[in-house]
Chain A
Amino acid sequence: MLITCPYCGPRDVIEFTYQGDGNRDRPDPASQNFEAWNAYVYDRLNPAGDHNEIWQHSGGCRAHLRVVRNTLTHEILSVAFMRGTHTSTARRKAEDKS
């Protein structure tokens, strides 16, 4: 599996570290909203298909990246720097209720 880092170009997946589901939005650290915290920590979409993910090019430029990966085919559909591109992609159960 190759991930094309926006800085370094195509690199083997072994240079990257998975930093988790990119659909999470961390609540304000002072938040007492347990449902939001529960969603942040536990709720995952686990889709069979395109998935928003956070990766770090830890064995290269060390930038944090927003990656869309297909969980069935491992195809990498897009890669962008986290910095400056953060938008809420949250589609979690807790927010679906509201």
Chain B
Amino acid sequence: MVERQSPLEPEFHVGSHGNFEHGVEIILTETGPGSIMQLAAWPGEEKKLIAAIRTVTGLALPDGAGGGLSDGVKSVFGFAPGKFTVADEAEGLADAFAKVVTPAIGTVTDLSHGRTAIRIAGPKAEWVLAKFFAIDFALPAFPVGAGRSTTHHDVFAQIQRTGSDQFDIYVFRSFARSFWKALCHASEEVGYEVQ
């Protein structure tokens, strides 16, 4: 199996940084899923695709735009009409989906090497992300499991809330190091730890 290198590596410094004398309020990590898939249903085939996602991952997508959920190992969320992002700690999702998502249902795109997943957690996670993205991060507007598609200075980002104070951000691998550095700088004033 190919050993995957992190694009963050030259800027990934484990430990506490910034203004952490009074405690660390942000934890930054790279989740490094083995599989990141983009699935799209042809118009009218959405329910079949959602059923296929359940067959492969065991996750039952909730109704509604941007709905999603995570079991801590596998995650899925809607990011556009009829389109879903699915991530798994393990490799092999592409093969699994290729078997159940027939060409009549939709398309399967393997982005495992094309996206980098960054996790921001802690009591100030909402506050730091609000500096980046013009969307509502409050829990009632952005419930646990839900996904959002948005942009930070032309860096396209898909964000899934995987805990009340935890978010997983999927960015293009080629932008990931730059985005990571910006996230570190934005976290300095509240103190952050890289794990």
Task: List 29 A–B pairs whose Cβ atoms lie within 8 Å, in order of A's numbering.
Answer: A6-B65, A7-B66, A7-B81, A8-B65, A8-B66, A8-B148, A8-B150, A9-B65, A12-B134, A14-B134, A14-B151, A15-B134, A15-B150, A59-B149, A59-B151, A60-B80, A60-B150, A60-B151, A61-B79, A61-B80, A61-B81, A61-B83, A62-B80, A62-B149, A63-B80, A63-B81, A81-B81, A83-B43, A84-B43
Chain A contact residues (Cβ within 8 angstroms of B): what range? 10 to 19
Q: How many residues of B contact A (CB 8 A)?
A: 15
B150 and A59 contact, CB distance less than 8 A: yes
A residues in contact with B149, CB < 8 Å: 8, 59-62
What residue of chain A has the Cβ atom nearest to residue B78's Cβ? A7
A7-B65, A8-B65, A8-B66 known; A15 vs B81 contact (CB < 8 Å): no
Query: Most chain-B CB neighbours within 10 Å: which of A11, A12, A61, A84?
Result: A61
A residues in contact with B80, CB < 8 Å: 7, 60-63
Against A, the Cβ 8 Å flags (1 = close, 0 = not) of B36-78 are 0000000100000000000000000000011000000000000
Label chain A's interface by main secondary structure: loop
